[in-house]
Amino acid sequence: MSSSQYIKGNTLATSGAIVNTNKFVSFLKNNTHITKLILRCSKINYEVIKELAQLSHLTSLDLSCCCIGTEGAKILASRNLINLTSLDLGGNEIGDEGVEALASGNLTSLTELKLYDNKIGDRGAKALASGNLTNLTLLSLGFNEISDKGAEALASGNLTNLITLKVYDNSINYRDVQTLASGNLVRLTSLIYNYCSIDETLPKNVLPQLKRKCNKRKIGEEPDSKLSEAQTSLHFDSKGFKPI
């Protein structure tokens, strides 16, 4: 790929590219004004990931749907991305082991982390809740395999700066959502999940009332994912849930 044609301001963005290691990394090293890198659905190997993970000037990195897997996540977590504040690894099948590496690695400046569609279960949720990503204000965990145990871990962990939490399409029911709302996430104002996970064993008068209160809307922040489906967004405070 010819890198210069994809640059706008401090951002280099492309989708579906085949990345040549030497030329591409050399270009980025010589153009440190590029702090935001988007390589969505691109073909990259571990050598490229190793080189990218040394670019300490990067503040935002999007490797969604790049098939980096568990090993790619480990590389990113262990290198020199000390100024990275935003990381999108959606659709990479990094699994719990990859999440554990991210949670205990060098990415302590992160404020936004997107891990949707990654086969993450309760083990990964527990790692995030007890790791060193305490500066996170946005965490996206949609389309994963997190259940009540993972929700309880997130609620009782050290992610106390979270403002937005996305847990749509997990095995988290309404009672678990209440757990998230009543735990240590004291700054949380936006919780996004979907109706299919609401516990149908709730009293019959509760579920319709909840559905009437909630606004359905399109969520499009995570590109190249399944987010064209309507999701439920809830704003809540100490008095309970409110629609947004």
Q: Domains of the chain: which residue ranges?
A: 3-243
The least confident of 114-118, 157-161, 184-188 is 184-188
Q: Give the pLDDT score at 217.
A: 33
CATH superfamily of 3-243: Ribonuclease Inhibitor (3.80.10.10)
Angle between helices 95-104 and 69-78 in degrees, nearest 10: 0
Task: With beta carbons less than 8 A apart as the criterion, state whether 176 and 201 touch.
Answer: no
From residue 107, how far is each of 99, 156, 175 by CA, in Å? 12, 21, 32
Rounded to two decimals, what is the model's pTM? 0.81
Q: Which residue in the block uniquely carries the two structure tokens 């991210």?
A: 102
Nearest Cα neighbor of 35 from 18, 52, 17 is 52
**What is the pLDDT confidence band of residue 213, given thresholds at 50, 70 and 90?**
very low
- Reading the block at residue 71, the tokens are 């090993």
Q: Rounded distance, CA 166 to CA 114, Å?
A: 9
- In this predicted structure, the answer to whether residue 204 has a pLDDT above a threshold of 80 is no
- Reading the block at residue 160, the tokens are 């106390």
For residues 213-224, give the mean pLDDT.
38
**What is the pLDDT confidence band of residue 224, given thresholds at 50, 70 and 90?**
very low
Please report, as a single letter, which amino acid is at residue 60.
Answer: S
